[in-house]
Structure 1
C-alpha cells in the first residue's frame, strides 16, 4: 500500500504517509510549558509508528495562544520541555514538527488584550480586539522568527506556520476580518504581506535542509471571504518559502459547515495541481482505505489523521496488522502484532 511507503519531505525521510495533525490539548498552564502529559501523548503516537507528528498550536507570544492552557515558545525557557518531547518521539522513529501560531482575535486568555488586523470581533460574545499598528506587526514577525530559532534548538525536524482556522495570519488574509487601509490591507497582495514577511523572516533562521509547512484555510464559507481561487493565488505568491501545504477550510467566522468524511480533500487536490506543490489532506479521515485512495489517486502526498489517532494511538500498527503488511513493529510489541 502506498500509505505505508516512505516519503521525503525536504531532507527528512518519513517512514509512512500518515501525519498526526496539530490538535490543541489545553494541558499546559499560564507558563506555556510542556509537561508529562504532552510527553506521553506525543511519544505514544511515535511508538504507534506515525510518520510525522506535528505538535499542537504553540504560541509565539503569550497572548498569541488561544487559551492560557496552550503551549508556548515565546521564551528560551520553553526549549527544554519541547526538546524532551522531540527526543522521545525520535527515539521511536517518527519525525516531529511544531506548529507556530498567533491566535489574534481568538485569544481568550488573561495575559493581555487580544489583537487583530482590524478591530472586528470574532462573534458577539468575543471581546473587541486591539487593531495592530505597523510597529506591532513588525514585532510579531520578529516573534515568529525567534520562535523558529527556538524550534530548531529544540531539535524539531520541521515547522508549520499556522495560517488557518481564523487565527492571526488567516485574519490578515481574509477581507472579512482585514479592513485595513494601509499596505497590510485592501487587495490580495497587501493582505498576503504579513504572511510573506513572516515566511521571509523564518527562512532567514530556519535550516535550509528542514521543511517549512503552511497550514491554510482554503475557503471561508461566506460570500466576500477567501475562495479556493484566492488561496491558489496566495500560495503561488509565497510558495518559494514553503515545502508543503496542509489544507483545511473555515474557522474565520462562526458558520455552519457540512462536514463528512474527507470533506476537505478536494481543496488539497486542486491546490496540489494548480500550485504544483505537495499537500497534506485532512478532515474526518478515519481509516487506511480513505488514506490509500487519497494518496494513490494523487490528491495529496500525505494524509493527516486526527481524531482517530486520539482514540487509537496504535492506528498505524493495527492497520498494518489487519492487512498483513510487512511492517517494522516496535520490538516490545512484536509478540502482539506478528
Structure 2
C-alpha cells in the first residue's frame, strides 16, 4: 500500500485511531461513506492481546478493509507476539503508537513518552517487522515536554526508518506529559506543520503522513501538496459526513451524491445483526450522531439516536426514525450534504 502510493504519487487519507471511538461499529459506518479511506483500530495494548479475549479485541467486519491495527507497548518481544497473534485476523497494517499522552499509557512506559527513547522504538519496529507479513508503521508526536522538536524529531525518524518502519504518521504537535490532560494535549501545544514538511523533504523515499488540527478536506488537500498522506481524527468523528467526499476529493473517483438511504439500510441491517447477538443498539448508534451536521433536522436526528437507542429492547427502527427526521435538501434517495 505505502510502496505503491510512493511509486505512483498517489495519496492516502486515513481516519485516526481514537480510544473509545474508532471501534468496529464506528469503522463499519465510516466504510459506508468511503471505500478507500484507511481506517485504524483504537490502540490495543500488546499485553491485552496476549492475555485477553482476542476475538473481542481483534475481531472486525470484513467490510472494514483497508484496516490497520494500532498497538501500544514498549517491549519488543511482547509486541512481536501480539503481531503473531493478530496475523490470523488479516489486518492490512500494524501501527505502533508513539503519540498517546494519557496517564495510563505513561504508567506503562509507552505511547508519547517513547519519543524520549528512539532506540527502544527502533527495537520494537525491528521485532514487529521480523514476524509481520504486512507493513509496520509508526504514529508519533514531534516531541514531548522540553524536547526541541527540530532536533529530536529528525533523529527519531532516522532511527525508526532505519529499523524498517514503512510509513510514519506525524501528529504535528508536542505532547506535554506533565501539566496537560490528554484532551488539552490535542489542542494546546502549538502545531508545527512546517517541521513535518521538512521531514518529508529529507525523506523523499519514505511515506510520511500528517495528523493534528485538520478539520476538513480543503485543509487535507493543502497538506497533500507537501505530504504523502493526511489523517483526520475528531473532525471525521464529529462531522462524519465529510467522509462521503473522500473518494472523489482524495482518490480521484467520479463524484456522486451519497446514497444516504442506502447508508441507513446498511446500518439498520448491521445493527439488527448485532442486537440479535446480544449487543445494545446504542453501541452502534453512538457513532452516528456526527452525521448531517448543519442540515435541517440534524438536532432531532441526534436526539433520537442518543435517547431512544438506549431504551431496553431498542432495535434498528430507531435508526429509521432518526433518518426520517432529516429534511434533505434534494431528493430523498441520494442527496449531498
Question: Could you say which TM-score interval applies, normalised by the shorter chain?
Answer: 0.5 to 0.7
Tell me the distance in 1 between the aligned counterparts of 2:140 and 2:257. 34
Q: 2:91 aligns with which of 156, 162, 170?
A: 156
1:253 matches 2:178: yes
1:317 aligns with 2:244: yes
Alpha-carbon deviation of 1:14? 12
Name the CA shift for 1:226/1:148 in 2 (closer, same or farther; >3 Å): farther
- Name the CA distance, whole Å, in 2 between partners of 1:192 and 1:335: 52
Change (3 A) 1:14 1:44: farther
CA distance in 1: counterparts of 2:203 and 2:244, whole angstroms = 33
Equivalent in the alignment of 1:233: 155
Pick from 17, 32, 38 the counterpart of residue 22 of structure 1.
17
The match for 2:268 is none
Mapped partners of 1:202, 1:242: distance in 2: 10
Whether contact under 8 Å (1:19, 1:302) holds in the other structure is yes
Q: Is the 8 A contact 1:20 1:52 kept in 2?
A: yes
| Shift of residue 60, structure 1, vs aligned partner | 0.8
Q: Which residue of 1 aligns with 2:28?
A: 43
Corresponding residue of 2:212: 283
Matches within 5 A, 1:155-234: 155-166=90-101, 167=105, 168-169=109-110, 170-174=112-116, 191-207=117-133, 210-222=134-146, 225-234=147-156
Give me the whole-angstrom Cα distance separating, in 2, the residues matched to 1:271 and 1:322: 25
- Describe the shift of the 1:173–1:220 C-alpha distance in structure 2 as closer, same or farther (beyond 3 A): closer
Asked whether the equivalents of residues 113 and 144 of structure 2 are also in contact (C-alpha less than 8 Å), the reply is no
1:276-302 Cα offsets, whole Å, 9 max, x none, are 322121112111110111112x2x111
Q: In structure 2, do the counterparts of structure 1 residues 80 and 284 end up closer, same or farther at CA, with 3 Å as the change threshold?
A: same
Q: Within 2, Cα distance between the matches of 1:304 and 1:322?
A: 14
**Match of residue 128 from structure 1:** none
Report which of the two structures shows the higher radius of gyration computed on alpha carbons.
Answer: 2
- Return the alpha-carbon distance in structure 2 between the equivalents of residues 15 and 47 of structure 1: 22
Q: Structure 1 residues 261, 197: closer, same or farther in 2, change over 3 A?
A: closer
How far off is 1:161 after superposition?
Answer: 0.6
Q: CA, structure 1 residues 141+315, in 2 after alignment: closer, same or farther (shift >3 Å)?
A: same
The corresponding residue for 1:57 is 43
Matches of 1:303 and 1:212 in 2, distance apart?
Answer: 18
Aligned residues: 248
Give the TM-score, by structure 1 length.
Answer: 0.63
Preserved CA contact (<8 Å) 2:169 2:209: yes
Paired residue for 2:72, among 92, 95, 101? 101
Q: 1:262 touches 1:283 (CA, 8 Å); kept in 2?
A: no
Give ranges in structure 2 of 5+ residues lacking alignment.
Answer: 264-331
* Separation in structure 2 between the aligned mates of residue 262 and residue 245 of structure 1, nearest angstrom: 20
Determine the C-alpha separation between the residues in 2 that align with 1:44 and 1:306.
15
CA contact (8 A) 1:17 1:51 kept: yes
Q: How does 1:266-277 map to 2 (within 5 A)?
A: 266-276=194-204, 277=206
Q: Provide the rounded CA distance (Å) in 2 between the counterparts of 1:321 and 1:79.
A: 34
* Contact 2:44/2:57, CA 8 A, preserved across alignment: no
- TM-score, length basis structure 2: 0.63
The alpha carbon displacement at 1:305 in A equals 1.1
